[in-house]
């Protein structure tokens, strides 16, 4: 009878241990699949940088007389408006910048970043207004090229400063619980705006633009 009890206790302990291990394994899998808030913001910057390369290739085509459909620029501006400005930057303005302001940290930088968001939206308005007539009129074409270059120059610096100065400091001003909650907020907002797999869909749209201007093959960026 004593032996039977020992076996029963051993079986219970083994089963409990298996349940704990299984729960831990599932928790680890969930953590591994989650995109952390700063990682999420940085990968969204990757989308922006690919759009900037599309803008560069478009300017080159305009300046060298190569074919370019106005649709390329209006589609690119549409992604900037919907994904970068109305989604990514809104997350920064509602969830990142206020936390730095309340903590009195990086305040001068945050002020400049806020200002640049507004300037960027005005530049996007101009790019989105591109038509065939824009290409045919030399003055309008030159203004468009200037606008794209201004946008490119500002956002190169803007994204680089956020990635290397602002985002690394987020963990310093929020608790671990608050950081995790922020990640869930970002994920919920992404699904709300773009549906399941929304990020991947945006990346596919950018890839289509890259094909249109001949830069999708990464090897084209390799010096000969």
- Whole-number mean pLDDT of the chain? 90
Alpha-carbon torsion 37, 76, 149, 127, what sign? Answer: negative
Do residues 35 and 43 touch, judged by C-beta distance below 8 A?
Answer: yes
Which residue ranges make up each domain of the chain? 36-216
**What is 36-216's CATH number?**
1.20.120.520
Q: What sections of the chain are H helices per DSSP?
A: 2-33, 37-64, 70-79, 90-91, 97-102, 107-128, 132-136, 138-161, 170-173, 176-194, 198-212
| Digit-coded pLDDT (tens) for 200-214 | 999 999 999 999 999
- The pTM score is 0.84
Q: According to the model, what pLDDT value does residue 35 have? A: 75
| Digit-coded pLDDT (tens) for 140-159 | 999 999 999 999 999 999 99
Residues near 87 by Cβ (< 8 Å), separated by ≥ 6?
44, 189, 190, 193, 194
């Amino acid at each position: 009878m004593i032996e039977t009890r020992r076996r029963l206790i051993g079986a219970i302990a083994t089963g409990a241990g298996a349940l704990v291990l299984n729960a831990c394994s599932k928790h680890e899998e969930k953590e591994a699949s989650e995109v952390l808030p700063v990682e999420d913001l940085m990968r969204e910057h990757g989308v922006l940088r690919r759009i900037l390369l599309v803008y560069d290739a478009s300017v080159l085509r305009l300046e060298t007389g190569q074919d370019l459909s106005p649709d390329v620029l209006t589609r690119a501006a549409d992604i900037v408006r919907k994904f970068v400005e109305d989604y990514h930057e809104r997350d920064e303005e509602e969830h990142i910048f206020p936390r730095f302001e309340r903590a009195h940290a990086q305040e001068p930088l945050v002020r400049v970043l806020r200002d640049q968001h507004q300037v960027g939206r005005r530049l996007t308005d101009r790019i989105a207004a591109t038509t065939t007539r824009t290409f045919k009129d030399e003055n309008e074409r030159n203004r468009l090229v200037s606008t794209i270059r201004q946008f490119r120059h500002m956002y190169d610096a803007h994204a680089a400063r956020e990635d290397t100065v602002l985002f690394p400091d987020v963990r310093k001003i929020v608790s671990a619980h608050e950081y995790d909650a922020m990640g869930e907020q970002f994920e919920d907002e992404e699904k709300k705006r773009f549906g399941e797999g929304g990020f991947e869909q945006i990346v596919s749209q950018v890839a289509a633009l890259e094909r249109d201007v001949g830069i999708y093959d990464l090897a084209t960026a390799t010096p000969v």
